[in-house]
Amino acid sequence: MTKFIIRRLFQLIPVLLGVTVLVFSLMHLTPGNPAVIMAGESAPEATVKAIEARLGLNDPLYEQYFRFLGNAVQLDFGSSIRDNIPVFNHISARFAITFELSVMAMIFSVFWGLLAGIISAVRRYTFEDVAMMVVALFGLSMPNFWLGLMLIQWFAIEFQIFKPTGWGSIDQNVLPVITLGTAGAAIIARMTRSSMLDVIDQDYIRTARAKGVKEGTVILRHALKNAMIPVITVIGIQFGSFLAGSVLTESVFAINGLGRLIIDSILQRDFPVVQGAILVIAVVFVIVNLVVDITYRLLNKRVDLN
């Protein structure tokens, strides 16, 4: 297991390098001159040139990239163009909120997704099965920004049960978590149902039932455990999508998280903040994938980790 983890960590290096190249290239292909933004539209050309020289924007792109990469390895993403505050300070202040939102949305998705998927598989082709899959289809089809606006209209404005904006208290957190986690719950429910149906009629399941094992034990200990491997893949992907896809949810509920920071920075052409934030999300995403691979082995010893 230790050798596998070390080997996977080395395999992540090319992935992260590819992300840095992509992020760096996209930011420099985006229209807008950071020096002009810092100096102001009406600033003299000499002032703009001085800022470009100070930031190294006149250097060849490969020199700028390697400078960016070397600093990023040391968690030095430079300073924000807007306020000259270190990018790491901006990210650290916002990342905790986005991570907390993503974790809570993931818990919501896993709980309701597994519950709905198990019930649908056990009660297949019944009214309960059809109803849950229809609900899952709606949950998968609804844009999360529309769902968020509807939840605000119903539960924050009309019934005034929860607060419509912000993050921190329970009455502020419930609606964003539901908004972000609903699509993930629908995906997990459909994958759980499909995976459970693949194993629920296997010989070892019939043998367990023939031995008199309780139905709950058969479903949870034998069927679900072996059906979880593809489900875990979906869970890992969903967590990464929550981190990257929290932008709309944070915008709808006015949450000052990492996603909203990226959007604001893109609009203001604050390249260092955008690059640093996307890199942080990419690193977390690949770490989640590593955890998923390790979990495969813990659930099923037959999974080949080579």
Per-residue model confidence as pLDDT tens for the chain (306 residues):
677 777 777 878 888 888 888 878 876 776 667 777 777 777 788 888 887 787 777 788 888 888 888 888 888 888 887 788 888 888 988 889 999 999 999 999 999 999 999 999 988 889 989 999 898 888 888 888 899 999 999 999 999 899 999 898 999 999 999 999 999 999 999 999 999 998 888 888 888 888 888 888 888 888 888 888 888 888 888 888 888 778 889 989 989 898 888 888 887 778 788 888 888 888 888 888 778 777 776 666 655 555
- Asked whether residue 62 falls in the same domain as residue 209, the answer is no
- Cα 144 → chain centroid: 14
How many CB atoms lie under 10 A from the CB of residue 40?
Answer: 10
- Asked whether residue 145 falls in the same domain as residue 26, the answer is no
* Tokens at 177, concatenated: 């978590």
- Asked whether residue 101 falls in the same domain as residue 147, the answer is yes
Which pLDDT belongs to residue 108?
96
- Asked whether residue 185 falls in the same domain as residue 289, the answer is yes
Asked if residue 85 belongs to a domain, the reply is no
Asked if residue 57 belongs to a domain, the reply is yes
- Asked whether residue 213 falls in the same domain as residue 267, the answer is yes
- Asked whether residue 219 falls in the same domain as residue 289, the answer is yes
Q: How far is 281 from 293, CA to CA, in rounded Å? A: 19
* Tokens at 106, concatenated: 């993931």
Which pLDDT belongs to residue 148?
93
Asked if residue 80 belongs to a domain, the reply is no
Asked if residue 35 belongs to a domain, the reply is yes
How many angstroms separate the most distant Cα atoms in the chain?
Answer: 86
Asked if residue 240 belongs to a domain, the reply is yes
- Asked whether residue 111 falls in the same domain as residue 250, the answer is yes
Domain that holds residue 66: 2-73
- Asked whether residue 16 falls in the same domain as residue 101, the answer is no
Asked if residue 82 belongs to a domain, the reply is no
Q: Residue 152 gets which letter from DSSP?
A: I
Which pLDDT belongs to residue 1?
65
Last-in-domain residue among 73, 105, 125: 73
Which pLDDT belongs to residue 219?
85
- Asked whether residue 41 falls in the same domain as residue 154, the answer is no
First-last CA distance in the chain: 10
- Asked whether residue 128 falls in the same domain as residue 229, the answer is yes
Asked if residue 90 belongs to a domain, the reply is no
Look up the pTM and report it. 0.83
- Asked whether residue 99 falls in the same domain as residue 54, the answer is no
Q: How many structural domains is the chain composed of?
A: 2
Q: How far is 154 from 162, CA to CA, in rounded Å? A: 10
Which pLDDT belongs to residue 302?
57
- Asked whether residue 61 falls in the same domain as residue 159, the answer is no
Asked if residue 229 belongs to a domain, the reply is yes
